[in-house]
A and B are shown apart, each in its own frame.
Chain A
Amino acid sequence: MRKMLVLAALMASVTGLSRAARAAGWNMPVGVTEVSRDVYGLHMVIFWICVIIGVIVFGIMFYSLFRYRRSKGAQAAHFHEHTTVEVFWTAIPLLILVAMAIPATATLKDMYDASEAELDVMVTGHQWRWHYHYMGEDITFFSNLDTPREQIDGTAEKGENYLLEVDQPLVLPVGRKVRLLMTSSDVIHSWWVPDLAVKKDAVPGFVNEAWTRIDEPGIYRGQCAELCGKDHAFMPVVVQAMEQEAFDTWLAERKQEAAAAASGVDREWKLEELVERGEKVYGSICASCHQADGQGTPPTFPALAGNQAMMDDLDWHIDVVVNGVSGSAMAAFSGTLNPVDLAAVITYERNAWGNETGDVVQPAEIQALIDP
């Protein structure tokens, strides 16, 4: 039985490894920036240093184990120290390390020089999505996981970019130095795209800096790298790099869309309109904690369905959504959602899952609250 288990494990491992061998991706990607190529170079140099040392050290070890077996009549020698040898094997590794530290220092200095950037993007981590703000361009949007729930649960076949696809990627121009400013609205996240060799923590209360200059147009995928709660695995980073002209066109289109989306603050909205829009906002922003059915996951994330305190006190409800709850996981959404979306989602929450208050919150009310 034990033999069969070993055999099965060995066969499974051999077939598993050969399949993996055929697929690409055993090593760090070379990437598409100068920095990522430097990093790859450092990685390979230190790797080969380790391999060479390993071959020598393990070679001597296995030679000794084989050659000096007592079963072959080996008699133990009596030496037990040798100053010259000990100085030698202290000094040589030291020299190797110094030789390694020099190029590593140069690359690190380069990675830290975010000066003279031509475009600044503010990257804000949220549980569990990224928010991008093109500084000075007035363009902001959330980037949500776009993999359908059915694929995760296994009721639908998984797509090619399973868990590495988003509804709106971060679009960047090629050949220009882009500075990325990282922060977080809740816990610590980490923004990582292997092909750019950029990984930087997004820490609440801090603004971290990183930069990249992408050489080739393309789509580069990464993930949040710092454990940030239950959906840590479900907040990918996707960067779409395009030529300058295409980027400019995209930028102009985005501005128009943003203006259209934010319009309508002044007009009177009907209940059905707000509920329809609010359902979408709720699905992409709120449902990850409070669940699509409004049941939440108490005690951490309270239920909204049948929440009497919420239904009784409209002003409190608005305050919680707009300003967050200090000392809890509930973030303030006034900075990331426009007044129409805020009004819509609050109205939706008051009229969904059997919460039949009939209350309608107008975008103008929210606007007045945020920007009196």
Chain B
Amino acid sequence: MAPNLPPKAPLEHSQSVAGSPAAHEEEHHYRSGPLRWLLTTNHKEIGTLYLIFSLSMFLIGGVMALVVRLELFQPGLQMVQPEFFNQMTTMHGLIMVFGAVMPAFVGLANWMVPLQIGAPDMALPRLNNFSFWLLPIAFTLLLATLLMPGGGPNFGWTFYAPLSTTYAPPSTTFFIFALHMAGISSILGAINIIATILNLRAPGMRLMDMTLFVWTWLITAFLLIAVMPVLAGVITMMLLDINFGTSFFNAAGGGDPVLFQHLFWFFGHPEVYIMILPAFGIVSVIVPTFARKRLFGYASMVYATASIAILSFLVWAHHMFAVGLPLVAELFFMYTTMLIAVPTGVKVFNWITTLFRGSITFETPMLFALAFIVLFTIGGFSGLMLAIAPADFQYHDTYFVVAHFHYVLVPGAVFSIMAAVYYWLPKWTGHYPDERIGRWHFWLSVIGVNLLFFPMHFAGLAGMPRRIPDYALQFADFNMASSIGGFLFGFSQLLFVWVIVKCVRGGAKAPAKAWEGASDLEWTLPSPAPLHTFETPPDLRGFKFH
């Protein structure tokens, strides 16, 4: 499985479309020092900021997960008290969802959407700067709640009322403020991506000519704009309940705790697709490259993505099967949830048919993309099982659910992000990432992640509820295996950091077209991509896409 790095790919139409490199030199009068990063409006620099931020949050959230796994290594309370344990599970979820996965995808979009559609930058560069810098402020505030009297958020990342209102620690108001800022950042980022894709495509590039990564992000951005305001609404209602004496969710005042869950999951279910649709896009770009074969069923991929996005608004109450919904509602949400398996299946079938009769090599990005297909599908299977409402009464709120959503989020979304980083690092840095360390990182991650999450299926079926710091003795072996896997997976990520640092500092030089089978527009630009690209849009009229 030697990497098949092409010796020197010819620059196709980059020289004609990207302007001559010499023309840029005199324009480079940007600031130096820290202010440059604070004030930058360049999509590549902001993309880099997003990715570095996301990686830091991934490591911080990961350490919190390791605290959880350490406590759960054996039955009994050894390391932490339940109060702190609950803060760790809550913060781990919030940081991974809002601080690691979402900003990583936004960072990738910042870097790659303009390059893949032939745009000089994002449509709204100053807004872009603002949406990034909201995030470090929001998450500094969120992390600071851990040091406040009464501790940080301890009610789970789903923060169900009234545990998160009447019964919450005093720091909850800060948590709400932090989440508002992260939400504004997401909405502004989404507006920017939509404006960029709809307005700045190179002449001749129609919507159905765009790469799947751009398509999935366009759809994701619409999801974000639709549901982030709902989240903002629900946390504002919490704010009013906590500080202004309202009773939206307080039963004693005539309020309705179940309303909270409806609002939260009306945001929350599209949110989980926000975290997976761009992953679909990444895999749909990487698999054809290393199979050296066009993506099978491009149009059906686009339609499947759109179907999943529309269905995502109609399934939210499957998170609430045990909350006491009427029978008709249970049936409706069971059927719509099962229906999601159809477009998702289409995607998996298309990827596999793309592999079929290809000419396949196994560089690190491809390894992560292939692991994504297998392990995400396993997460999809357990999702289908969870859709069966009568059986869900047994699965609900157990480790079976924890196994399910970690399979779609970790070897799903996170692996796709890693695949994307390995895939595009040559374009970003001009160097290939170290293939040997990359492979170590991949195999240790795959083994670790399965040892971590697969036993959770059994623990859940055997009856272990989620979010508990201590458990009955029959769950001990599963938890020990999970904890070992967790530490293996966690420490393997240091290799990821090492690969990235090494690649930024040097390595085998990458040509413009770093991967032999790559065909998208970014590979027509030199590696590393200069700070300003496509200032004159490439003329793609008459260009044969895909």
User: Which A residues contact B (CB, under 8 angstroms)?
Assistant: 2, 5-6, 9-10, 12-13, 16-17, 19-20, 23-29, 38-39, 42-43, 46-47, 49-50, 53-54, 57-58, 60-61, 64-65, 68-71, 74-82, 85-86, 89-90, 93-94, 97, 100-101, 104-105, 107-109, 111-112, 127, 151-154, 158, 160-164, 182, 186-188, 190, 192, 194, 197-201, 203-206, 208-209, 222-234, 297-300, 326-329
Contacts and interface: CB of A to CB of B under 8 A. Distances in A.
A49 to B, nearest CB: 8
A20 B481 contact: yes
Contacts of A203: 251, 257-258, 323-324
Nearest to B460: A28
A272 to B, nearest CB: 34
Nearest to A21: B477
B385 A108 contact: no
Nearest to B4: A70
A104 B388 contact: yes
B472 A101 contact: no
Contacts of A79: 296, 357
Contact of B546 (A71, A80, A160, A186): A80
B299 A57 contact: no
Nearest to A35: B390
A174 B163 CA distance: 36
A111 B478 CA distance: 31
Contact of A27 (B2, B295, B334, B461): B461
Contacts of A230: 81-83, 86, 154
Given A74-B360, A204-B252, A230-B82, 9 more contacts: A16-B477, A28-B394, A68-B360, A112-B330, A162-B75, A188-B257, A203-B251, A226-B160, A227-B160
B393 A9 contact: no
Contacts of A153: 76-77
Contact of B327 (A26, A49, A112): A112
B163 A229 contact: yes
A46 B388 contact: yes
B24 to A, nearest CB: 36
Contacts of A26: 458, 461-462
B: contact size bracket: 35 or more
Given A16-B477, A190-B397, A200 B357 contact: no
Contacts of B349: 57, 89
A33 B414 CA distance: 41
Contacts of B377: 54, 57-58
Given A9-B488, A203-B323, A42 B390 contact: yes
A187 B169 CA distance: 14
A303 B459 CA distance: 38
B136 interface: no
B461 A28 contact: yes
Interface stretch (B5-13, B34-42, B44-52, B338-346): B338-346
Contact of A164 (B166, B324, B472): B472
A13 B468 contact: no
Contact of B447 (A6, A46, A209, A225): A6
28 contacts: A6-B488, A16-B480, A25-B474, A29-B463, A57-B349, A68-B356, A80-B293, A80-B296, A80-B546, A82-B297, A85-B353, A101-B334, A104-B388, A105-B331, A108-B334, A112-B327, A151-B76, A152-B77, A187-B166, A199-B396, A206-B324, A226-B160, A227-B155, A230-B86, A230-B154, A232-B465, A232-B467, A233-B468
Contacts of B251: 203-206
B324 A200 contact: yes
Given A9-B451, A70-B359, A79-B296, A300 B150 contact: yes
Given A28-B394, A80-B296, A187 B167 contact: yes
B458 A20 contact: yes
Contact of A89 (B345, B448, B480): B345
Interface in B428-467: 440, 444, 447-448, 451, 455, 458, 461-463, 465-467
Contacts of A90: 342, 345-346
B342 A299 contact: no
B346 A86 contact: yes
A136 B473 CA distance: 38
A164 B470 CA distance: 11
B108 interface: no
Contacts of A228: 163
Given A68-B357, A164-B472, A297-B83, A225 B397 contact: yes
Nearest to B78: A154
B355 to A, nearest CB: 4
Interface string B388-409: 1111011011100000000000
Q: Which of B155, B162, B330 has the most CB of A within 10 A?
A: B162
